[in-house]
Amino acid sequence: MREYLLTLCITAAVTYLLTGPVRKFAIMAGAMPQIRARDVHREPTPRLGGIAMFFGLCAGLLVANHLTNLSQVFENSNEPRALLSGAALIWLIGVLDDKFEIDALIKLGGQMIAAGVMVVQGLTILWLPVPGVGTVALTQWQGTLLTVALVVITINAVNFVDGLDGLAAGMVCIAACAFFLYAYRIWYGYNIEAAAPATLFAVILMGMCLGFLPHNMHPARIFMGDSGSMLIGLVLAAGAISVTGQVDPDVMKLFSGSERNAVHQMVPVYIPLVMPLTIIAIPAADLVLAIVRRTWRGQSPFAADRGHLHHRLLEIGHSHSRSVLIMYFWSALIAFGALAYSVNSASMWIVLGIVFLSAIGLALLLLPRFTPRAPKWAEHFVPPRYRRRKALAEPAVNTPEQGETAEAPADEEDRTPVAAGVAGVNGATAVGPRSRFSR
């Protein structure tokens, strides 16, 4: 676990430290498009945040390759090299799109090529665990098509949900955390070495997202762009492919008693191939709804609009930050609910807990105007918007007399006195309102 924590910290640190210089580079390169009709931010914001995330990925793989235990992943498997090859290709396509906004069909073709590159190097689905049937071996063509489909769907699901500050990075980080815990349990709990690459991919993905989030939280100073959203989508898909298509349930049945029990213990992993990803079910649902909505209107499925789930949260009255937190909540509930079910599927308390938390989530959705307030002792540790506002005393309004000065009330936004005035009659000074453009 210490080597995984070190890899996580190095990946996060490199991503965090490089994001600032990348922001300056994006501004100089002109990768800061004007605000579009579907955007929710008010000022032009630079993209290309995926550059820092890609170098964080490279740093994480480089550090892991020199650690005692994690270096065995590179010696016994070619999957890390396959991931790096596919990530480099999809990242390059994303950088070009952030700068020049290439056609959607070209991006789709690049996503398929990146997935094909990983398949050629061995990162592919070899078999599927099917409940009640057992392990179903796939032919080469079946495995290739299923792998490419999973990669493309996951990339576009993450790309579609990247509409609010910190939303995509936070949701993928939550999914990666749950996925890491599951893969780590298979690797060290069942001593199945085939789960080691997926565990490494998940911890590196967490580091990439955690390092970028401080720069991307509302109000964001930089966006990850397609270079970042497609990159983290591909890394997440690579982990799901690795642990689902490479771990043989026949090995797990030695520890669970039978193959059927082993297959049922693989539920949170093989479901992503059907859903396609339970751990990011919210972005996947948003993707399906967007395709249906745009096709019904006679538009292209790749035509952007303001009908995504996070846009709907804003429309019903939720603030930007609150909408992001609600999406975090549902993502964590689904991801960690599946994780808890995989540990003990027979426990009724897990089901009751998920139902209870779902009720809380529904209540949050129905109270868009409610703003939580922190207690007084915790006000110094939370953002200003969660602190209790003190009542301001109303200033006394007096009629100016000869030799007196009539002061105007403070500005409503910054509470600073108005400084400009116009000379009045008999030496009195009448203070006029200040223009908002004189700040």
Nearest-10 Cα torsion for 236, 241, 246, 252: 70
Please give the C-alpha separations between residue 185 and each of 189, 265, 438, in angstroms, as whole numbers.
5, 11, 61
List the one residue out of 202, 191, 192, 248 whose CA is nearest residue 83. Answer: 202
Reading the chain (439 residues) residue by residue, the pLDDT tens digits are: 789 999 999 999 999 999 999 999 999 988 876 665 555 556 778 888 999 999 999 999 999 999 988 998 998 889 999 999 999 999 999 999 988 888 888 999 999 999 999 999 989 888 776 666 667 788 889 889 989 998 998 898 888 787 778 888 998 999 888 889 888 888 777 777 878 898 999 999 999 999 999 998 878 889 898 999 999 999 999 988 888 766 665 665 545 555 455 555 555 445 444 434 566 666 667 777 777 777 777 776 666 666 666 566 666 666 767 778 888 888 888 888 777 776 665 567 777 887 888 888 777 766 665 555 667 777 776 656 556 665 444 444 444 444 444 444 333 333 333 333 433 434 444 444 433 333 3
Sorted by where each begins, the domain ranges of the chain are 2-309
Please check if 226 is assigned to a binding site.
yes
- Give the bridge partners for 430, in sequence order: 406, 422
Nearest-10 Cα torsion for 45, 49, 52, 57: 160
176: amino acid identity, one letter: A
DSSP H/E element including 113 = helix 104-120
Please check if 216 is assigned to a binding site.
no
